[in-house]
Structure 1
Amino acid sequence: MPIPRLLARASAALALTLATVVATSVPASADPSWWRGPAPTQSSITAERGPFSVSSTSVSDWYTPGFGSATIYYPTSTTSGRFGGVAISPGYTASESTIAWLGPRIASQGFVVITFNTNSRYDQPNSRGDQLLAALDYLTGSSSVRSRVDASRLAVMGHSMGGGGALEAAKDRPSLQAAIPLTGWNTDKTWYEVTTPTLVIGAEEDTVAPVDSHSIPFYNNLTNAQERAYLELNNASHFAPNSPNDDIASSSIAWLKRFVDDDTRYTQFLCPGPTVSYFGSISDYRATCPM
């Protein structure tokens, strides 16, 4: 066979091999056009800041319909397109400051995040759920950064009664892409109405919302959620989400990237999930693998 034709066939074979590798590395259901940021590593999702520079803006309660004063954290660059939006509620009697650390940390991974004060520090989970949805509506509808947010890619998070509120919000608005209750509290334990992918984070030493009567029943009863996972922080209290925590941050970021951005590159951190160890930081992990 002439050398030119042999080289041509070799080039064609190489091109076919490369195309096959690329095709099999991205599942057919994945849409990389939604992905934001470089390929992740364990170090990148645990880092205090991700690949995006972040700015913030404060919002007076005069301008926040349905919830209290707020802070919005957002990537400064718009070259990647619009970003998913995340609303975060504090817990019972607590202020926005208790969950503020999550704002820039999550935003730096490619999200627009709104953290807020509730109308009253004594608001119950159902009210906090309504306020989470009101915060998302404000973020996408009339906030100064609304053009940066993709209104079809939204999620809710919350601590304690705010976590119970995240479940309420997911029940009321099935279009949400992700929900993350952090040491959540709610008198309702049955969440068969929730179809949103939900990551439940509990704390082993929680005496306010013990995992046996809150987080674990939440997870067990999310039977209709598209995906669900339960992560338990070892030797941690109810108030673990109120200060920077690498396990809360990394698992939440992976969950949000996987289900808000449909970024399958983050599945590796959720399935089979973090290592469970008596001496480590995670005492229990359960998930609907494969995702």
Structure 2
Amino acid sequence: MQHLPSGDTSTRRHRMSKSRSVRLGLAAAAATAGLVTALIPGGAQAAANPYERGPAPSNSSIEASRGSYATSQTTVSSLGVSGFGGGTIYYPTSTADGTFGAVVISPGFTAYQSSIAWLGPRLASQGFVVFTIDTNTTVDQPDSRGRQLLSALDYLTQQSSVRSRVDSSRLGVMGHSMGGGGTLEAAKSRPSLQAAIPLTGWNTDKTWPEVKTPTLIVGSDGDTVAPVASHSVPFYNSLPSSLDKAYLELRGATHFTPNSSNTTIAKYSISWLKRFIDNDTRYEQFLCPLPSTSLTIAAYRGNCPHTS
């Protein structure tokens, strides 16, 4: 048998001791990490995306008339604000989940917030603060409505009674008709917005290459006020090809379809807002692969997978 010199034996023992210490240290670190993960609601998933709100979604949950959150609402008088005409804020009642993303919604030409009020509790119950607004006058044009959407967002995040419930870094805009045109104007003016959804939008400006906000454009196949061929389709086509964007054309619908409760509008609006305001990739399944045509969808275009 060959005997190692005493120096080699000492070295080997030192290495074995060091290796054992490293293994014990790694095991302790792993145990600590596991304990920390266990203490965080949702574990590693919550740590990966702190903006997720609500249970894992399903088709039935996003098509339901109400989501998992109980909601409250508060009226904002036009007398107490500037830059827009007041409105109604809908919000999740519980504060247990922390802050929420927010969306402001504008009505269309000659219309009041009552025309888009159904979206308030429907979106809020899914985990958003929603502000349906009146405009300064009912005949305000899209550029004015775009500025009013932004003024309402600023009020919501800085002055409103629910401002502590809102994450001011996670905001979006929606609007119907000229409010939809205003939605594009707002997104163009404020690139930091996380999501934009024009609903049967109307605007004399047909090209939007400056928009950097993920945008879902909703049109109606029977729209004679803002026909998709001269409004929603060119809006969509003009958005940058690198942008996360989609075009949903409703089947058997009119310009005024967004003024009434509509499951298809709600389903894809919720999915878009969740995906881009909350960065909640659990909702990607409803947007990619692209939805197929159906009894309620005449066309759907978009880029998949999404990059944001």
Same fold per TM (> 0.5)? yes
* Correspondent of 1:211 among 228, 251, 257: 228
Match of 2:215 among 185, 198, 201: 198
Cα distance, 1:253 vs. partner? 0.3
Secondary structure of the equivalent of 1:181?
Answer: strand
Match of 1:236, SS state, is coil
Q: Which runs of 5+ in 1 are unaligned?
A: 1-11, 20-27
Where does residue 254 of structure 1 map in the other structure? 271
Please tell me whether residue 128 in structure 1 is matched to residue 145 in structure 2. yes
- Contact 2:99/2:164, CA 8 A, preserved across alignment: yes
Match of 2:254 among 216, 219, 237: 237
Secondary structure of 1:158's counterpart equals strand
Question: Is the 1:257–1:266 Cα contact (8 Å) retained in structure 2?
Answer: yes
Aligned mates of 2:302, 2:55 — CA distance in 1: 25
State the distance in 1 between where 2:265 and 2:57 align. Answer: 17
1:57 is paired with a residue whose SS is: strand
Match status 1:289 vs 2:297: no
AA aligned to 2:223 is: D
Give the structure 1 partner of residue 6 of structure 2.
none
SS of the residue aligned with 1:201?
Answer: strand
Matches of 1:135 and 1:261, distance apart in 2:
20
* 1:162-193 C-alpha deviation (Å, 9 max, x unpaired): 00000000000000000000000001111000
Of the two, which has the highest radius of gyration?
Answer: 2
Other structure's SS at 1:259 match: helix
2-side partners of 1:231 and 1:211: how far apart? Answer: 11
RMSD of aligned alpha carbons: 1.9
CA contact (8 A) 1:170 1:179 kept: yes
Structure 2: distance between partners of 1:213 and 1:258: 28
Q: Judge conservation of contact 1:90–1:160 (CA < 8 Å) in 2.
A: yes
TM value normalised by structure 2: 0.84
Aligned to 1:136, the other structure's residue is in SS state helix
Secondary structure class of the residue paired with 2:196 = strand
- Aligned equivalents of 2:193 and 2:114: distance in 1? 25
Deviations 1:6-50 (A, max 9, x none): xxxxxx9xx9xxx9xxxxxxxx9x942110001000110111000
Asked if 1 retains the 8 angstrom alpha-carbon contact of 2:290 and 2:304, the reply is no
- Equivalent position to 2:120, from 103, 106, 124: 103
Whole-Å separation in 2 of the counterparts to 1:149 and 1:36: 13
Q: Of 66, 74, 99, which residue of structure 2 is paired with 1:49?
A: 66
Distance (whole Å) between structure 1 residues aligned to residue 241 and residue 97 of structure 2: 33
Q: TM-score, normalised by structure 1?
A: 0.88
Aligned match of 1:184: 201
- Three-state SS of the structure 1 residue aligned to 2:150 is helix
- Report the count of equivalent residues: 266
Residues 31 and 93 of structure 1, relative CA distance in 2, 3 Å threshold: farther
Displacement of 1:290 = 1.0
Identical positions, percent? 67
Q: 1:1-291 to 2 correspondence within 5 Å?
A: 31-223=48-240, 226-277=243-294, 280-291=295-306
Structure 1 position 225, deviation (Å): 6.0
Q: 1:235: Cα distance to partner?
A: 1.1
* Deviating more after overlay: 199-208 vs 267-276: 267-276
Following the alignment from structure 2 to structure 1, what is the Cα–Cα distance between the partners of residues 238 and 86? 33
